[in-house]
């Protein structure tokens, strides 16, 4: 029988073709079932008759262009972007003054994140049961920042020798993997303490759990809701999430028991954030399984965000090496004036140029293009009459705002000291600028629900970068330039294959 060789599909190609067809038709069906009730222009359609399902697929890789087109046209109003799992209402940041103080019962970040993460399948419902994981950051970590930064820095001192190359020759390193491990250790040191924070098991769990949760959620978001119960049973990443959760319980439950035993003995000194959480839990928050899930939620929020910021900052230093000497001079000066632990307490806030550089690096390379994100828990009518129906996904175009010439002059130019110079000229060198949020600076969200871990994140970044700048020369691998940023919907991450070359000074 005649057959054209190029049409003969291998079993794998056949399975992929069936998968692609299933994906396409299930999305088309969902497009018919799903109707948008928000009144705002929709962006992203190439032609008015283009099916919604195609626009949703395009958002996957071209989300940046679609948000940018919407922002250019409607930056003072609102527009809708179509993502595979939802239509999202992108509001002008001028609405933020009104919206930023609305409580979670009206506009909720956790409910939006729960939906983004497909929480009913990825076991993150713990975030809806209580807010112990944000209370611990607001009420203990940030007010006692100096104490916890000392612990984190002590862990970095060890990680520096364990995880960075010590050879005097140029050495190619997988800097993103190193950044994840180092940040996981520094964060683990304050949450779980020694020795848990450094064990291979906890490091693997705390780095892999967020990746597998994200992979599960992301895959599910590509398929319509009615397929999810079946799909959930088929995803290997979801089984891995369960494995990480079991492992986390094995590690964390003995730590909880140990702390409770100390409480009984009267030796109840709180030395880790886990201990604080155990003592301040209410209702089901105290359940050991829930407590260990909550530790994992904290890894989800903290490790990859901070590790990516660190990698991006190093890539930006190599791409713009003229910043390196002024930064080294600042670090030397501050270290001379504040040595030892004083460097952590008094010195870090004085690293104004480094702070400015980090803010600029984050301006170009945020972890998400749209922040903050919220879910309308009830119908809302804003002062200008804009109506937001219950269940609407609301977001702000954080990246576009900072790339707007009305907010940042000459926005396409990387200028690591722009914030520093602006503040110096205005005679108002404010400390920790990178963590300040306002309606134009949304990298950490804004308002009452803004990132509660940002002060700690900034301190971690400054501790690591000040030492790396002092002790290493750095460059890209021969013949390579700044790694590309990849996009998946509104999420951004550096090319996972990108490496860096370091040499001890
Ligand atoms: C460079 C690093 C980081 C970035 C860019 C970042 C960014 C963000 C953003 C954009 C939000 C959403 C805020 C909103 O909806 O208004 C958020 C929330 C959150 N972040 Fe961060 N974050 C970082 C580091 C951290 C760290 C180190 C921790 C923990 C120590 C943390 C804990 C959290 C938590 C718990 C939430 C949820 C808050 C809530 O439910 O109210 N983040 N973060």
Query: What is the DSSP code string of 356-373?
Result: HHHHHHHHHS-SBSS-SE
How far, in Å, is the centroid of ligand 1 from the Cα of 172? 31
Pocket-testing residue among 115, 136, 151, 451, ligand 1, by greatest number of atoms within 8 A of Cβ = 451
Domains of the chain, earliest start first: 36-504 (1.10.630.10)
Residue list for the binding site: 451
Residue nearest to atom 24 of ligand 1 (CA): 302
Taking only the tens place, the pLDDT of each residue in 452-464 is: 999 999 999 999 9
Instruction: Evaluate: CB of 109 within 6 angstroms of ligand 1.
Output: yes
Angle at alpha carbon of residue 80, lines to 77 and 83, rounded to 5°: 150
Residue list for the binding site for heme: 451
- What is the per-residue burial (b if ≥16 Cβ within 10 Å, else e) of 126-136? bbeebbbbbbb
Q: What integer pLDDT is reported at residue 330 of this predicted model?
A: 97
- Banded model confidence at residue 1, pLDDT cuts 50, 70, 90: very low
- Banded model confidence at residue 15, pLDDT cuts 50, 70, 90: low
Q: What integer pLDDT is reported at residue 3 of this predicted model?
A: 36
Q: Which atom of ligand 1 is nearest to the CA of 374?
A: 15
Residue nearest to atom 1 of ligand 1 (CA): 306
Taking only the tens place, the pLDDT of each residue in 284-294 is: 999 999 999 99
Angle at alpha carbon of residue 391, lines to 387 and 392, rounded to 5°: 50
- In percent, how much of the chain has pLDDT > 90? 84
Taking only the tens place, the pLDDT of each residue in 126-163 is: 999 999 999 999 999 999 999 999 999 999 999 999 99
Taking only the tens place, the pLDDT of each residue in 65-110 is: 999 999 999 999 999 999 999 999 999 999 999 998 899 999 999 9
Instruction: Evaluate: CB of 140 within 6 angstroms of ligand 1.
Output: no
Is pLDDT above 70 for 8?
A: no
Instruction: Evaluate: CB of 395 within 6 angstroms of ligand 1.
Output: no
- Banded model confidence at residue 422, pLDDT cuts 50, 70, 90: confident
Q: Is the separation of the CB atoms in 123 and 293 below 8 Å?
A: yes
Alpha-carbon distance of 288 to 248, in angstroms, equals: 11
Instruction: Evaluate: CB of 386 within 6 angstroms of ligand 1.
Output: no
Q: What integer pLDDT is reported at residue 266 of this predicted model?
A: 67
Q: What integer pLDDT is reported at residue 38 of this predicted model?
A: 76
Residue 469, sorted as left (phi over 0), alpha (psi -120 to 50) or beta, turns out to be: alpha
Pick from 245, 34, 221, 9: nearest CA to 124: 245
Instruction: Evaluate: CB of 309 within 6 angstroms of ligand 1.
Output: yes
Find the mean pLDDT for residues 321-337. Answer: 97
Q: What integer pLDDT is reported at residue 394 of this predicted model?
A: 97
Q: Which atom of ligand 1 is nearest to the CA of 442?
A: 10
Half-sphere exposure of 85 (CA within 13 A, CB side): 22
Residue nearest to atom 10 of ligand 1 (CA): 444
């Amino acid at each position: 029988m005649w057959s054209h060789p190029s049409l003969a599909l291998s079993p794998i190609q056949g399975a992929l073709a069936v998968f692609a067809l299933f994906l396409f038709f299930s999305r088309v069906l969902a497009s018919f079932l799903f109707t948008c009730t928000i009144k705002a222009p929709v962006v992203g359609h190439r032609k008015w008759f283009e099916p919604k399902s195609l626009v949703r697929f395009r958002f996957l890789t071209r989300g940046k262009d679609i948000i940018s087109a919407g922002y250019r046209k409607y930056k003072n109003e609102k527009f809708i972007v179509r993502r595979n799992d939802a239509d999202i209402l992108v509001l002008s940041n001028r609405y933020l003054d009104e919206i930023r103080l609305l409580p979670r019962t009206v506009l909720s970040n956790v409910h939006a994140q729960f939906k983004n993460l497909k929480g009913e399948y990825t076991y993150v419902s713990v975030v809806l049961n209580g807010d112990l994981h944000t209370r611990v950051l607001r009420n203990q970590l940030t007010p006692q920042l100096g104490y916890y930064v000392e612990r984190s820095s002590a862990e970095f001192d060890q990680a520096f020798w364990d995880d960075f190359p010590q050879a005097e020759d140029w050495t190619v390193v997988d800097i993103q993997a190193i950044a994840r491990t180092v940040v996981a250790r520094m964060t683990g040191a304050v949450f779980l303490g020694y020795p848990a924070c450094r064990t291979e098991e906890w490091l693997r769990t705390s780095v892999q759990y967020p990746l597998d949760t994200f992979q599960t959620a992301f895959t599910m978001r590509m398929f319509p809701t009615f397929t999810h119960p079946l799909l959930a049973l088929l995803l290997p990443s979801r089984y891995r999430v369960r494995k990480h959760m079991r492992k986390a319980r094995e590690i964390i439950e003995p730590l909880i028991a140990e702390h409770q035993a100390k409480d009984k003995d009267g030796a109840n000194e709180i030395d880790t954030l886990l201990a604080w959480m155990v003592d301040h839990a209410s209702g089901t928050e105290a359940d050991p399984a829930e407590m260990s899930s909550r530790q994992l939620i904290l890894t989800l929020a903290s490790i990859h965000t901070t590790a990516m910021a660190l990698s991006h900052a190093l890539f930006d230093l190599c791409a713009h090496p003229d910043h390196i000497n002024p930064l080294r001079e600042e670090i030397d000066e501050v270290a001379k004036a504040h040595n030892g632990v004083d460097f952590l307490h008094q010195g870090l806030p004085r690293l104004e140029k480094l702070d400015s550089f980090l803010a600029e690096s984050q301006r170009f390379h945020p972890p998400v293009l749209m922040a903050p994100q919220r879910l309308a828990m009830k119908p809302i009518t804003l002062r200008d009459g804009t109506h937001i129906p219950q269940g609407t996904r609301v977001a702000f175009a954080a990246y576009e705002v900072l790339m707007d010439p009305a907010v940042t002059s000459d926005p396409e130019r990387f200028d690591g000291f722009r914030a520093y110079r602006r503040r110096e000229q205005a005679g108002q060198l404010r400390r920790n600028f990178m963590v300040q949020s306002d309606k134009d600076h949304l990298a950490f969200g804004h308002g009452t629900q803004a990132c509660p871990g940002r002060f700690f994140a900034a301190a971690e970044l400054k501790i690591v970068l000040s030492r790396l700048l002092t002790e290493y020369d750095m460059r890209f691998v021969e013949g390579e330039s700044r790694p590309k940023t990849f996009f998946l919907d509104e999420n951004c991450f550096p090319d996972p294959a990108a490496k860096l070359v370091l040499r001890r000074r």
